[in-house]
A and B are shown apart, each in its own frame.
Chain A
Amino acid sequence: MILETRGIGKSFGSVLALREVSMGVEAGRVTCVLGDNGAGKSTLIKILAGVHQHDTGELLVDGKEVRFAGPRDALDRGIATVYQDLAMIPLMSVWRNFFLGSEPRKGLAFDVARARKVAREELRAMGIDIRDVDQPVGTLSGGERQSVAIARAVYFGARVLILDEPTSALGVKQAGVVLRYIARARDRGLGVVFITHNPHHAYPVGDRFLLLNRGTSLGEYGKADITTEELTALMAGGAELEALAHELERE
C-alpha cells in the first residue's frame, strides 16, 4: 500500500462530513471511490491531497502515519491530484500549465525551451496529440485538458494520482479517452484514485471499489467480489431504488 486511510474522519463545525472511512491505494492498481452527491467524496480526496487535515483516524504513506501540512507536502510525497474544475489555467499555454509550480530552471531563468520540448514529448508519450503546445489551455476540449493534467502528474513522478470526477463533465467518447489515459497511468506503475459517481466508468478500469454514502463507508470491494449491477444498486441505496421502482410502476 502506498497510501492508506484507517477509520478516517472529518467534521466542519457540527457537520460530520466523513466518518470511519478506510481505504487503500496500491501501485499499478486503480481504486475507485464511488458515491452520490454529498457522500463525502470531495472531503476524502481533499484529505488525501493535503487540502484538509483529518480529525480522527490515521493517514498512512508507505505504511507510516503522516499528517500533510498542505497540498505541496502531499505533492512532495508523490501524491498528485487532478481536480475536475481547477486542473488548468485557461489563458496560459499548454507548456506553461504543464510546468506550473515546478518550472525547470536554467540559472535564474525559467528554461522555456526545455519546458516546451519536454511538454511536447511527454504528451506524445502518453498518446496525447496536442496540435501546438503554445496554444492556450482554454482552447482545448475537456478531455484533452484532463489528459494534459494526467500527463503532467505522471511526468512529475507522482506515485499516486487522485482524479476528481475526471469523466463527469465529458461526452461518451471523451470519457473513453480519459479512461484510456487512466489505464495508461496505471500501466506505468502509478496507484490511481478515481473518484466518480458513474459505475459504468469505474468498473472497466477499477481494481478496488470504495462506496461512500452520507459521509460513511459502505465497504471496500475487490473486482471479483462485485458486479456493475451490484455497484449501481449499492450506490443508489438498493432498497430505496426498489421502492422507487415500485412507486413509479403504479403511476
Chain B
Amino acid sequence: MTLAADERVAPVGPARRLLIRPELGAVVGLVVVFAFFAVQSPVFRSPDGIANWLDPAATLGIMAVAVALLMIGGEFDLSAGVLTGTSGLILVTLATRYGFNVWLAMLVGLVVALGVGYANGLIVTRTRLPSFIVTLGTFLMLQGVNLGVTKAITGTVQVSGLRRASGFEGANALLAGTIQIGGTSFRVAILWWILVTAVATWVLMRSRAGNWIFAVGGNEQAARAVGVPAARTKIALFMTTAFAAWLVGSILALRYTSVQANIGIGQEFIYIIAAVIGGCLLTGGYGSAIGAALGAVIFGMADKGIVFLGWDADWFMFFLGAMLLLATLANRLVRRYAEEVKH
C-alpha cells in the first residue's frame, strides 16, 4: 500500500504549502484592495491615512478574531454585535447615572457580557440547537433590553456624559487614547487588536485548547470520543466572543463618551464576513485568527478608502458583498487545489 502510494504522490513544493494556509485569500485581497486605493489616493498611502484606516480595522478586527475562533469551533454568535452596545450602555449608564467609578462600571459590564456568553454557550451545548437560532434569540432580546432600559432611564435613546465620571482619564488613555509613532498618532485600539490577534493565534496553533477548538468544529463527536471536553471548549469560545464584545464596547464608549441604544446592530454579520474572508469555513473546523484580522484590515481600507476617493459611502455595502463572494470562491478554489495535490 505504502510503496504504491509513494509513487502516486507528487512532490509538494513550498509554494503549494503556502497555498494550503487559510490566510491566503485574505492576503491576496489585502494586496489588491490596498493597491486599488493607494494608486488613486496619496492620502490613503500616507502615514496619517494608514492610521486612519487601521482604526476601524482594529475595533472590527478584535471582534472578527474572536468570532473566527468561535467559527473554527463550529458555532456562530449573532448576539456579538449588540453585546458591544450592551457593554457600552452599562458602562456609561452606571458611570453617569449611578455615580459608579468608570473602572467599576467596566467590571460590571464585563461580568454581564461574560454571563451572556456563558448563557449562549450553555444553551447551545445543552440543547444541541443550532447556535444560529440560539444567538439570534439573544441578539433580539439584547436589542430589546438595550432600547427599553435606556429609554426607561434616560427618556431618550442614548446615554452620554462619560467624560465627567471619575476614573475616565485613566480608562480613556488605556483603551481609547492615541500614541505617537514617527509624528503620526495611532489609536491605542490598534495595539489591543494586535495583542488579541497574537494571543488568539498562539492559542490556536500552540496550545491544547487550540487543538480542541479545531476538533470540536471539525467533528464534535470524534473529539468527544477521544476525551476532548467539547462542551467546555464551546462555552469558553462563546465567552471569548463576549469578552471581545465587552472590550470593543468599552473602547467605543470611552472614545465617544456616549452610546446610542441601537449601536452594534448589523455588525454581527460583518464580523462573520471578515472571518470568512480570513479563511474560516462556515461549517467549522478550519480557519485562522490572522486571516480574520487581515479580513478586518480589508474592511478598514474600503471603509475609509471610499471616503478618500470622494465616493458615496453607500458603495461600501456593495463592496462588502462583492468581497465576501470573491473571498469565498477564492478560498474554495485554493482549498481544492491544495487537496488535489495531496491525493
Point out residues on A near B: beta carbons under 8 Å.
Answer: 49, 51, 71-72, 75, 81, 83, 86-92, 96, 99-103, 105, 108-110, 112, 128-129, 131-132, 135-136, 138-139, 141, 143-144, 173-174, 177
Contact = CB atoms under 8 A, between A and B. Distances in A.
Contacts of B1: 141, 143-144, 173-174, 177
Contact of B222 (A87, A105, A136): A87
Contacts of A100: 211-212, 215, 223, 226, 228
Given A72-B227, A89-B214, A101-B227, A132 B206 contact: no
A90 B217 CA distance: 11
B285 A132 contact: no
A102 B202 CA distance: 18
Contact of B207 (A89, A90, A108): A108
B9 A131 contact: yes
Interface residues of B, number: 32
B208 A110 contact: yes
Contacts of A87: 222
Given A86-B221, A90-B219, A136-B342, A103 B214 contact: no
A40 to B, nearest CB: 20
B225 A110 contact: no
Contacts of B223: 89, 100-101
Contacts of B227: 71-72, 75, 101-102
B205 to A, nearest CB: 8
Interface in B196-237: 202, 205-208, 210-212, 214-215, 218-219, 221-228
Contact of A131 (B6, B218, B222): B6
Given A87-B222, A128-B2, 4 more contacts: A92-B285, A112-B205, A136-B342, A139-B342
Given A71-B224, A139-B342, A89 B215 contact: yes
Contacts of A144: 1, 5
Contacts of A81: 225
B320 to A, nearest CB: 27
